[in-house]
A and B are shown apart, each in its own frame.
Chain A
Amino acid sequence: MKKDIILKAENISKQYRLGQVGTGTLSHDINRWWHKIRGKENPYLKIGETNDRSTKGSSDYVWALQDINFEVERGEVLGIIGKNGAGKSTLLKILSKVTAPTTGSIKSRGRIASLLEVGTGFNGEMTGRENIFLNGAILGMTKKEITSKLDEIIEFSGCERYIDTPVKRYSSGMTVRLAFAVAAFLEPEILVIDEVLAVGDAEFQKKAIGKMQDISKGEGRTVLFVSHNMAAVKSLCTRGIVMEKGSIKYEGRIDDAIEKYLEDENTTAHHIWNESDKPKGDFIELTEVKVLNKYDAITINHSILDEVKIEFTYQIFREGELFTHGFNLYNVENVHILSSHDKNSSTLKQALRIGKYKTAIIIPGNLLAEGSYSCSFAIMRYSPFHIEFHEMNTVGFNIIDEFGGQTVRGNYSGHYPGLIRPELEWKK
C-alpha cells in the first residue's frame, strides 16, 4: 500500500541567539547585511553549536533544531517526546507557523491548527461564551463553524452554569476544560497538541484522551502530540519521535520510542568509584561494578537469549565481620523487577581478611523482557539485620530482543507485553 504522506519536514534547522538579545545585534545585523550584499553566506550561521543546556558553549548562537526530517501519514497520531530543551516545542512552533525555520521546509497537504498550551487568547473580562468565539476564531474557525458547534462545545467543557460569567472568575481547571473543548471541536486536517493534559482533573483528562482518540481514530485526523505524560503518549500515539539536543534520536513504534526516551544515557556497564565517593559501610566499601557477557567482556547490550553477569568488587578495611551481598534489578520505569540475597554466602560463616574481593550474580537468558535495566548492590548483616550500604544505579544494561526458535517470542513479530519474559512450560 502506498503511503499517504500528509506532512513532510525536510532538513528543518533553527538557530537561536543566546544571551542578551538587543546588545550588539545592530553590529551583527550590519555585518550580516554587509556579507549579504557581497553575496556571501551569513557569517553567523556557521558558528552555531548543538543545543546542550548543561555545557557552556563558546558561541552566542545555538542550533535548537538541526536537520530534522520526518514524514507523517494521514490519520497517524505521532508522539514527539524528549527531555526539556530537546527542541520539541521549537519544532511545534515551526509546524504551527509561529516562527520560521532557519533552513529547510515543511510541506503539508492539510490545514494545521495548533493547541500550544490551551487558553491562548482567552480574555478574562469576557464571558465563557464570548471566549469560545474569540478562541475559536484565533484557532482558525469561522463564526459560522463555531455557532454550529457551540452547544457541543459547552456540553463537552462541562461549564454550562458559568458560560455567561467572565472567564477571570473561572478556576484554572475550568479554563482549561473550556479551552480544550474549543480546540477539540476544531476541524483541521492536522492538529498539533502540546502538553494539554497538564491541568484538569482525572475525569477530564480521561475525557480529553478519549476525545483525542476519537479525533484520530474515528475521524481519521492526523495529530502531532507532545507531552511528558508517557501514559498519555502511549495510549494515544501509534508512532513516536524521540528528540535529543535538537535532533531526532529515534523514530519508530511508540513503545520503542518511549523506551529510548527513558533510557538513561548515563547508564554504564562499568563503574569505578573515586576514593572520595565510594559507597561504604563500617567495614566495607564498594570499588567497582562490571556488566559482563558470557565471555567475561564488559558489555552493555545483551541478547535476550544470553546470560548477564554482574561482578562486584569491594574492599574490606576492618576484619571480623560477617555479612552477605544483595542485588536488586529495576527497569526503565523504575519498577523493581527482582531482588536476590546471597543467602548461602561463605562470608556469612567466616569473616574475611582485609583486602579486595569479588562476587558476581548471573541473570540467565530468557528471563528478562527487552528493555533497559539498572542494578543496585547492597551489603547486609543478618544478626541483627543491618544494611551496611545500598547503592542504587551502580550499573545498567540493555536487553535486546530477538526472534527465533530459542526465544520465548519465537517467530511472532508483534508487540510482546509483560515485565519479564521467562520461558515457561505449556502442558498438553
Chain B
Amino acid sequence: MNNNSPNDWLFEITPKNKFFSLNLREVWQYRDLLFLFVKRDVITVYKQTVLGPLWYLIQPLFTSVTFTIIFNNVAGIDTGTVPPFLFNLAGITVWNYFTACLTGTSDTFKANAAIFGKVYFPRIITPLSVVISNLVKFGIQFLIFIGFYIFYYFQGANLGLNSLILFFPVLIVMMGILGLGLGMLISATVTKYRDFIHLIGFGIQLLMYLSAVMYPMELIKDKLPSYGWLVEYNPLAYIIETARYMLLNVGEVSILGLSYTFVVTIAVFFIGLLVFNKTEKSFIDTV
C-alpha cells in the first residue's frame, strides 16, 4: 500500500469531465444515499400538515372533477363508453407523474446549491431520487384510480382490462426516464440561463393540452386536422393514450408512435445526462 510507484493514484481531479461518463459503479456505491433521499422526500413533504399523505389524493381528484365538468359536461368531449371522470383520472394520474418528475428534477442544481457547494456525491443521485420518490407518490395516486375503477365497475360501466396492462410498468418507467432526461437538461441549462425557470411553469401547462390528457388522441385529428401534428409529434401523447388503452381499453395503440416515443425518450435521456455531467463539475461557479 505504501509503495510509491508514480501511477498508483486512486483518482485524479482534472478540469474537464470526459465527454460522456455515467459512473454507474459510483452511483451504486451511493445507493444508500439514494434510498435516504427518497425516504426524506416522501416523509417530509407533508410533515406538519393535518391531512398528511391525503394531499397526494386530493390534487388529482379535484383536477379530474374540474376537467370532467369543463371538458366533458360543458365542452362536450366524448369519452365513449368510459365514464368521463375515470377517463380524466387515468390521464391526470399518469400526466402528474411526468410533471412531478420534470419539475422536481429541473431545479436540481438550484435547489441543492447549498449542499452541492459543500460535499461531493454523484449529482445524478438527486434527480434519480426525485423520480423514485415520485414513483411512490404515483403508486398512491394509482391506488385511488383502482378504487374508482372498481367502483365504476360495480356501477355497471363497460370497463375491460387489456392484456397489455402487463406492460404498464414499462410505460411508467419510460415516462419517468423522459421526465428525468428533460429535467436534467433543463436543470443544467437553468444554472446559467435562468430564463428556463419562467418557461417551465406555463410550458408544462401548455404541454398538457398537447398531450391528449383530457381528450382522446383521435379527437384532435378529427377536429383540428391541420394542427393534429402538434399532438402526433408529442411523445407524451402516445404514452398517455397507450396508458388509457391499457387501463380502460379505449383509444388506440400506435406501434409506430410508441417506437418514436421510445427513441425520443432514450435520446432525451442521454442528451440530458451529457449536459448534466458537463454542468456537474463547475455549476457551483455559475449558479
Q: Is there an interface contact between A98 and B120, defined as CB atoms closer than 8 Å?
A: yes
Q: Are A114 and B120 in contact (CB under 8 A)?
A: yes
Which of A99, A108, A137, A143 makes the CB contact (< 8 A) with B285?
Answer: A99
**Given known contacts A4-B4, A99-B285, A125-B44, A25 and B12 CB-to-CB distance under 8 angstroms:** no
For the complex, is A138 an interface residue (Cβ under 8 Å from B)? yes
Residues of B within 8 A of A3 (CB): 4
Query: How far, in angstroms, from A138 to B4 measured CA to CA in the complex?
Result: 31
Tell whether B30 is near chain A: CB-to-CB under 8 Å. Answer: yes
Please tell me if A142 contacts chain B, counting CB pairs below 8 Å.
yes
Residues of A within 8 A of B32 (CB): 137, 141-143
B15 touches A104 (CB 8 A): yes
Chain A 117-146, CB-CB to B under 8 Å as 1, else 0, gives 100110101100010011001111111000
Assembled-state Cα–Cα distance A205/B93 (Å): 52
Which residues of chain A in 1-23 are interfacial with respect to chain B, using CB atoms and an 8 Å cutoff?
A: 2-5, 8, 16-17, 21-22
| Residue A279 interfacial (CB < 8 Å) | no
A391–B50 alpha-carbon span in the complex (Å): 67
CB contacts (< 8 Å) of A8 on chain B: these are 9
Known contacts: A107-B12, A134-B40, A137-B36. The answer to whether A99 contacts B281 by CB under 8 A is yes
Known contacts A98-B116, A120-B118, A142-B32; A106/B13 CB under 8 A: yes
Residue interface mask B103-129, A partner, CB < 8 A = 1: 000000000001111111100000000
**Nearest-neighbor residue (CB-CB) of B287 within chain A:** A21
Contact of B15 among A74, A103, A142 (CB under 8 A): A103
Q: Is A93 an interface residue (CB 8 A)?
A: yes
Cβ of A209 under 8 Å from chain B: no
Contact B119 A96 (CB under 8 A): yes
Give CA–CA (A93, B13) in the complex, Å.
Answer: 11
Residues of B within 8 A of A142 (CB): 29, 32
Whose C-beta in chain B lies nearest to the C-beta of A116? Answer: B118
Q: Contact between A93 and B284 (Cβ–Cβ < 8 Å)?
A: yes
Please name the residue on chain B nearest to A92 by beta carbon.
B118
Interface size grouping (class) on chain B:
35 or more
A407 in contact (CB, < 8 A): no
Assembled-state Cα–Cα distance A186/B202 (Å) = 45
Find B36's partner among A102, A108, A111, A133 (CB 8 Å cutoff). Answer: A133
A113 to B29, CA, bound (A): 14
**Are B121 and A138 neighbours in the complex by a CB distance under 8 Å?**
yes
CA distance A103 to B282 in the complex (A): 13
Would you call B118 and A114 a contact (CB within 8 A)? yes
Q: A25-B192, A98-B116 are in contact. Are A106 and B33 (CB under 8 A)?
A: no
Q: Is the CB of B120 within 8 A of A137?
A: no
The interface size of chain A toward B, counting residues with CB under 8 Å, comes to 50
Q: 0/1 per residue, B159-199, Cβ < 8 Å to A?
A: 00000000000000000000000000000000011100000
Residue of B with least CB distance to A22: B194
B44/A123 in contact, CB under 8 A? yes
Q: Which of A5, A95, A123, A143 contacts B4 (CB 8 A)?
A: A5
B119 x A101 contact (CB < 8 A): no
Known: A109-B9, A121-B115. A99 touches B282 (CB 8 A): yes
* A100 lies within 8 A of B13 (CB): yes
Report chain A residues within 8 Å CB of B17: 100
Please provide the chain A residues from 399 to 427 with a CB less than 8 Å away from any CB of chain B in the complex.
Answer: none
B13 contacts A98, C-beta separation under 8 Å: no
Q: What is the bound-complex CA distance between A126 and B29, given in angstroms?
A: 24
Task: Using known A-B contacts A22-B194, A105-B13, A106-B12, determine if residue A4 contacts B2 with beta carbons closer than 8 Å.
Answer: yes
Query: Taking the complex as formed, is A94 at the interface, i.e. its CB lies under 8 A from any CB of chain B?
Result: yes
Minimum C-beta distance from B191 to chain A (A): 10
Determine which of A100, A109, A140, A141 lies in contact with B16 in the assembled complex, contact meaning CB atoms within 8 Å: A100
Asked if A83 is at the interface of the complex by the 8 Å CB criterion, the answer is no
Taking a contact as CB atoms under 8 Å apart, the answer to whether A96 and B120 are in contact is yes
Which residues of the partner chain A approach B118 to less than 8 Å between Cβ atoms?
96, 98, 114, 116-117, 120
- Please name all residues of chain A whose beta carbon is closer than 8 Å to the beta carbon of B48 when the two chains form the complex: 125
- B residues in contact with A134, CB < 8 Å: 36-37, 40
Q: Give the chain B neighbours of A123 by CB distance below 8 A.
A: 40, 44
Closest to A25 in B: B192
For the complex, is A97 an interface residue (Cβ under 8 Å from B)? yes
Which one, B10, B40, B44, contacts A109 given CB within 8 A?
B10
With the chains together, A123 CA to B47 CA distance in Å? 12
8 contacts between A and B (CB under 8 A): A21-B192, A22-B193, A25-B193, A93-B117, A108-B12, A114-B120, A137-B30, A138-B115
